[in-house]
A and B are shown apart, each in its own frame.
Chain A
Amino acid sequence: ETGVTQSPTHLIKTRGQQVTLRCSSQSGHNTVSWYQQALGQGPQFIFQYYREEENGRGNFPPRFSGLQFPNYSSELNVNALELDDSALYLCASSLGRGSSDEQFFGPGTRLTVL
């Protein structure tokens, strides 16, 4: 069984640029959630995709967007990068979107915005 993978592991961008982060979900999982984790903080929910449809969004501006593909892998796109976007971006996959469905997190992408 393949775990959740994310790419790239590290990324450095400058303010105003755009970035795409990728996530491959665990085999058999149809739900992917994205979280932003600032240093010393808990993960903050960005959005969730279930069977290629957005299934809820946290308090993030529209310049944060995403996609889920037919194989249930996912992308997170961030436009017009700001310094505060520097964080660890985590994706998590789960068998479903129910409250008891355990989320399996990937290792994250560390984004630095200069």
Chain B
Amino acid sequence: GQSLEQPSEVTAVEGAIVQINCTYQTSGFYGLSWYQQHDGGAPTFLSYNALDGLEETGRFSSFLSRSDSYGYLLLQELQMKDSASYFCAVALEGGGGNKLTFGTGTQLKVEL
């Protein structure tokens, strides 16, 4: 079957760097996506990695290692507004494309 594992909760202070890990088990891997969701809000796309390596977008970076079935989201210069849930996602097994299976999410709390 298909599964994604993430830590359930991470706490960090404003200005710090935090890494949210994701390990996955799936066949027919197409890429790893990351989404952010504030309480009561819509998930918003952060990044997509199809190939091994680091992708950087402003304060956020995402890394993928296909051989290790592992990726992470790195958030730098943390701000209070970064407090949210973060989900990794892979294409639905047997489905492909952008039909996604999401992890259970990591709740990030940024403190002063």
Residues of A within 8 A of B45 (CB): 102-104
Q: List 27 A-B pairs, Cβ < 8 Å.
A: A33-B100, A35-B100, A35-B102, A40-B104, A40-B105, A41-B105, A42-B105, A43-B87, A45-B99, A45-B100, A45-B101, A48-B97, A56-B92, A56-B95, A56-B99, A58-B92, A90-B43, A92-B43, A94-B98, A97-B97, A99-B91, A100-B31, A102-B45, A103-B100, A104-B45, A105-B42, A105-B44
Contact count band on A:
20 to 34
Residues of B within 8 A of A53 (CB): none
Task: Give CA–CA (A81, B99) in the complex, Å.
Answer: 24
| Contact count A vs B, C-beta below 8 Å | 76
Within the complex, what minimum Cβ distance (angstroms) separates B9 from chain A?
11
Q: Helix, strand, loop or mixed for chain A's interface? A: loop
Within the complex, what minimum Cβ distance (angstroms) separates B88 from chain A?
9
Do the beta carbons of B42 and A106 come within 8 Å of each other?
A: yes
Identify the B interface with A (CB < 8 A).
30-31, 41-45, 48, 50, 87, 89, 91-92, 95-105
Within the complex, what minimum Cβ distance (angstroms) separates A95 from chain B?
10
Do the beta carbons of A48 and B87 come within 8 Å of each other?
A: no
Smallest CB-CB separation from A4: which chain B residue? Answer: B42
- Chain A residues 81 to 112 lying within 8 A of chain B, measured CB to CB, are 90, 92, 94, 96-108
Within the complex, what minimum Cβ distance (angstroms) separates B105 from chain A?
5
Residues of A within 8 A of B97 (CB): 48, 55-56, 97-99, 101
Residues of B within 8 A of A7 (CB): none
Smallest CB-CB separation from B103: which chain A residue? Answer: A42
Residues of A within 8 A of B92 (CB): 45, 56, 58
Do the beta carbons of B98 and A33 come within 8 Å of each other?
A: yes
A27 within 8 A of B: no
Task: Give CA–CA (A106, B42) in the complex, Å.
Answer: 6
Do the beta carbons of A41 and B104 come within 8 Å of each other?
A: yes
Do the beta carbons of B98 and A101 come within 8 Å of each other?
A: yes
